[in-house]
Amino acid sequence: MSKSTFDRTDAMVFFGGITALSAVAVDIILPATGVVARDFGVDDAYGTLLVGVYLLAFAAGQLFWGLFSDAFGRRPALIISLVGFTLASVACALAPSFGFLIVMRALQGLTGGAPVIARAMVRDVSSGNDAAKTLAALTAILTIAILIAPVIGSGLLVIFDWRAIFWALAALGVLLLIYSVLFVEETALDRRPDRFSLSFVIPSAHTLMSMPAFLIPMIVGGLAFGGYAAMLSIGAVLTETQYGVTPEAFGSLFALAALSNTVGALGIRYLLKTIPVQRVFIMAVGLLGVCSLCATSLLMFSPSLAAFWGVVCLYVLGFGTVMPTSVALAMEPAGKMPGFAASLIGAIQMGIGAAGATLAAALFDDTHRAIPLTMALFGFAAVMLLIFGRKTMHRP
């Protein structure tokens, strides 16, 4: 598989699909978090575990899938991951208790290796601005997918019940699996089974984590995601309790945020045609800082739903500009271990995202403040890290 593969419409849609798989798995359940909790007779707040547990498990699983794809090939790793994800989705749909559902949700996250494998495949065949443009295009497809995911989730709640959401995820897994088996070619021509061991992981992780050019953009992207994850975690519960938005209507509200993400990703792709990725990344983080200031302003009064969600959408737009450029920059120093680098980036960024989701849930006090406060904290942290770490990023 060559770089020209990503110019084919079907291939780009497929790679966008596997890049979006875990995001869709999170976003499609957002309208139903409170519904699921009530169905099993637990407090609505426990429904946020459907997001937090998935993100934590997904973060841990990426380390495995990156190493596995480096050692045994991207294509086998992708197929095995999709099989596991599909079976876990079926188990979630059949869950007899809330505890069993949470365990299977964690398994779903652990087997969601497709996004990290997709990033490694992009790095196998491209680098620099080319890789950033491809990642931006995949991010645009991702955001289109998450644009409609909560709407589909809301629709399934209206027509069926929350279990239909997991049946839909299983069906998506089957479709992606069929395409993988029939059409996906191997991109990692140099397989390294010796890397599937701690003797490779520990020194390699130390090497990557000691390079500011890898560490700083990775953590900046993770911090941007941490603010976004606040909305994922409690957005449905907060808008229902504060603004009377029903679970069925939340999908349409979330679609506005996803559209903002799409605009950000497409804007970045346009800029990358003429501007080096390093400069675009700095511009993106600057935008995130402005978005964080707007989020801070919401802490000073009780906004209307339009004002509140408008600021949320603005932050999500900033997140959409930071994420693809942060991943592309962090992958540059990866050398001959792009699979492991992609998995480490994914694990740490998802871990920071899970921290953002957890913090927002802990801060939720039956007011609107938990989401903008979390966004402001994580957004400003990203800006400060880039300001103080920028010079070290360019050291040899």
Distance CA 33, CA 20 (A): 20
Q: Is the pTM of this model over 0.85?
A: no
Q: Angle of helix 198-209 relative to helix 49-72, nearest 10 degrees?
A: 110
Distance CA 356, CA 70 (A): 30
Q: Residue with structure tokens 């969601």? A: 112
pLDDT at 396: 46
| Angle, alpha carbons 258-259-261 (nearest 5°) | 65
CB 263 within 8 A of CB 139: no
User: Which of 153, 173, 169 has its CA nearest to residue 161?
Assistant: 153
User: Which of 31, 29, 27, 33 has its CA nearest to residue 48?
Assistant: 33
Instruction: Report which residue type is found at 333.
Output: P
Q: 13 is written with which tokens?
A: 């849609």
Helices (H), the chain: 9-27, 33-39, 49-72, 74-93, 98-110, 114-125, 128-159, 163-183, 198-209, 212-243, 247-271, 277-297, 305-331, 338-363, 370-393
DSSP 194: G
Distance CA 396, CA 392 (A): 9
pLDDT at 222: 95
pLDDT at 2: 47
Q: 269 is written with which tokens?
A: 């792709």
CA–CA distances in Å: residue 94 to residues 55, 162, 228? 21, 11, 30
Through-space distance between the first and last CA atoms of the chain, rounded to whole angstroms: 32
Distance CA 320, CA 135 (A): 11
Distance CA 41, CA 347 (A): 33
What is the DSSP code string of 26-95?
Answer: HHTTGGGHHHHHHHTT--GGGGGHHHHHHHHHHHHHHHHHHHHHHHH-HHHHHHHHHHHHHHHHHHHHT-
Distance CA 57, CA 68 (A): 17
User: Which of 227, 281, 292 has its CA nearest to residue 390?
Assistant: 281
Q: 366 is written with which tokens?
A: 């039956």
CB 196 within 8 A of CB 298: no
Instruction: Report which residue type is found at 234.
Output: I
Q: 92 is written with which tokens?
A: 């979630």
Residues of the chain where predicted confidence (pLDDT) is lower than 50: 2, 396
What is the DSSP code string of 244-286?
Answer: ---HHHHHHHHHHHHHHHHHHHHHHHHHTTTS-HHHHHHHHHH
Q: 132 is written with which tokens?
A: 């950033």
Distance CA 306, CA 312 (A): 10
Q: Residue with structure tokens 């991207």? A: 74
Distance CA 152, CA 27 (A): 10
